[in-house]
Amino acid sequence: MLIDIVSVAPELLDSPFAHSIMKRAHDKGLLQVRTHNLRNWAINKHGQVDDYQYGGGAGMVMLCEPLANMIEHLQKEHTYDEIIYMTPDGPTFNQSMANQLSLKNNLLIICGHYKGIDQRIRDHYITCEISIGDYVLSGGELAAAVVVDAIGRIIPGVLNDETSALTDSFQDNLLAPPVYTRPADFKGWKVPDILLQGDPKKVEAWRLEQSMERTKTRRPDLLKKWD
Ligand code: 6GU
């Protein structure tokens, strides 16, 4: 998969994909993330990519021209399955969206800043809008990093143990059960017996029960999705 990200602050995206599972996805050749600096498409030598909004009001708006030129330039090299705009007024990102996007080949992600991008870019180029939650960030970059991480780790072949992503919280609308590792007794705090007895059927039943219980107490809204 190729993910191109357009930003006025691409440095914000240098580190998130250089570690752990994201690095593995890259090293295995399964995910390439490229960042593109929108300033290279500024309308003048001052690096201008935004301007005051029509109708007045505080805050700058990102100009059509740099974005349109950048997008059309990238489209000459690649066909994108989705052109995604990161914006707090988009639909809230969830595991089901991550699953769907992980099956695509090429994605282009546009990060907004200030008051956002000119509506005409949204109307004519953007095919998908994503928010990561009901709070406002100063730019789309950190949100894009969240989305790319969630997508990247479930690209087929990225995780060693293929079942590992299937048992994540949310994959079945249930939170993951508690997990334990050695020692079996730490300061007198004991690991539940059932996990030590070596009966895989009982362990599976216990985990499901714990998942249900956790979901019921912490996220009852998720259980409604079973109805
Ligand atoms: Cl995608 N962008 C910004 N700027 N703020 C956000 C967001 C995105 N999602 C939640 N808050």
Question: At a CB cut-off of 8 Å and minimum separation 6, what does 21 contact?
Answer: 149, 152, 153, 158, 159
Which pLDDT score, from 0 to 100, does residue 226 have?
59
Give 23 Cα–ligand 1 centroid separation in angstroms.
Answer: 24
Q: How far is the CA of 86 from the centre of ligand 1 (A)?
A: 6
Q: Taking the domains of the chain in order of start, what are their residue ranges?
A: 2-152, 167-226
**What residues does ligand 1 touch, defined as CB less than 6 Å away?**
86-88, 130-133, 135-137, 139-140, 143
Burial status of residue 137 (CB atoms within 10 A of its CB: 0-12, 13-18, 19 or more): middle
Q: Which residues pair with 200 in a beta bridge?
A: none
Q: Judge whether residue 26 has pLDDT over 90.
A: yes
Give φ, ψ of 113 to 5 degrees.
Answer: -140, 170
Rounded Cα–Cα distance for residues 213 and 209 (Å): 6
pLDDT of residue 126: 98
Q: Band the pLDDT of 112: cuts 50, 70, 90.
A: very high
Check whether domain 2-152 has CATH 3.40.50.720, yes or no: no
- Tell me if 2-152 shares its fold with 167-226: no
| 94, pLDDT greater than 80 | yes
Q: Which residue has the tokens 């300033």?
A: 39
* 167-226 CATH pick, 1.10.1270.20, 3.40.1190.10, 1.25.40.10, 3.30.70.920: 1.10.1270.20
**Per-residue pLDDT at 127:** 98
**pLDDT per residue as tens digits for the range 128-176:** 999 999 999 999 999 999 999 999 999 988 888 756 777 788 878 899 9
